[in-house]
Amino acid sequence: MPMLPFALSFYFSLSTAFYFHVGEREEKCIIEDIPSDTLVTGTFKTQQWDFRRQDFLESAPGLGMFVTVTTYNDEVLLSKLHGPQGRFYFTSHSPGEHIICLESNSTRLVSFGGSKLRIHLEIRVGQHDLDAAIAQAKDKVNEVSFKLEHLIEQIEQIVKEQNYQRDREENFRMISEDTNSNVLWWAFAQTLIFIAIGIFQMKSLKNFFIAKKLV
C-alpha cells in the first residue's frame, strides 16, 4: 500500500463530525475501525477560501471531491467522484481498520486564492440515515415506506442474531452429547478392562497354586 500523505486515526462510536483544511490536489485520510457487515455513511461539504473576505465561502462551485475507501488488505470498497458536497455509503465486509480518503479533483485552486479548502466531514457508523430520507420524501406513502424498510431491516438483524445464537446452542449441544457419549464408552471400556484383568489374575493365581501343588 502506498504511503498516505496525511492520516488521522479516529474511533467513532455512532456519529462524529469535524473539519480540516486541504490544499491543491492534497489527499487527506482518516482511519476507521469498523466491525464486519456494518453500514457506514459519510457526509461532506467543501468551503472555498476568499481573499477579499478573508474567510471561507459557504460553497466551492466548480470543485469536485474524489472519495476512496480501502482496507489494509488493499481491497477497494468505494471509489467515486462527487461534487463540492455530497454523501457516500459503504458496507464493511470484514472487521478491521478502513481508510477513508478525500481529494480535490481540481487544479484551479490557485486561481481561487490561497490553494486552501475547508472540508466538513461527518461519519456515521452502523446508522441508517432514516431521518434524511424521510425529510426528502414527497408524500406520506414514501414516508411510511421508508419507516417500514427500516423496521424490516431491524427485524432481519434480530433474526440474524437469533439464528447465530441458535447455531451456537446447537453446536454446544452436539459437543455435550459427544462428550457424554465418550464418557459412557470410556466407562464401559474401563469395566471390560477390569473384568479382563480380574480373570487373568484369577487364572494366574490358580496356575501358581497348581504348580506349587497346594491344590
> If residue 49 lies in a helix (H) or strand (E), which one and from where to where?
strand 39-50
123, 20 contact by CB (below 8 A): no
Read off the pLDDT of each residue in 182-211 and give the average, rounded to a whole number: 87
How many Å apart are CA 128 and CA 130, to the nearest integer? Answer: 5
**pLDDT exceeds 60 at position 202:** yes
How many Å apart are CA 87 and CA 121, to the nearest integer? Answer: 10
**pLDDT exceeds 50 at position 140:** yes
Read off the pLDDT of each residue in 43-67 and give the average, rounded to a whole number: 81
Give the pLDDT score at 159: 75
| Cβ neighbours for 168, distance < 8 A, ≥ 6 positions apart | none
User: Half-sphere exposure (CA, 13 Å, Cβ side) for 151?
Assistant: 6
Give the pLDDT score at 105: 77
How many Å apart are CA 155 and CA 49, to the nearest integer? Answer: 47
Using CA atoms, how far residue 27 sits from 62, 136, 139, 156, 176, in Å, is 18, 32, 40, 38, 55
Read off the pLDDT of each residue in 24-48 and give the average, rounded to a whole number: 85
Digit-coded pLDDT (tens) for 74-84: 899 999 998 88
Transcribe 105-146 into DSSP letters: --S-HHHHSTT-EEEEEEEEES---HHHHHHT-SSHHHHHHH
By percentage, how much of the chain surpasses pLDDT 70? 77
Amino acid found at 156: E
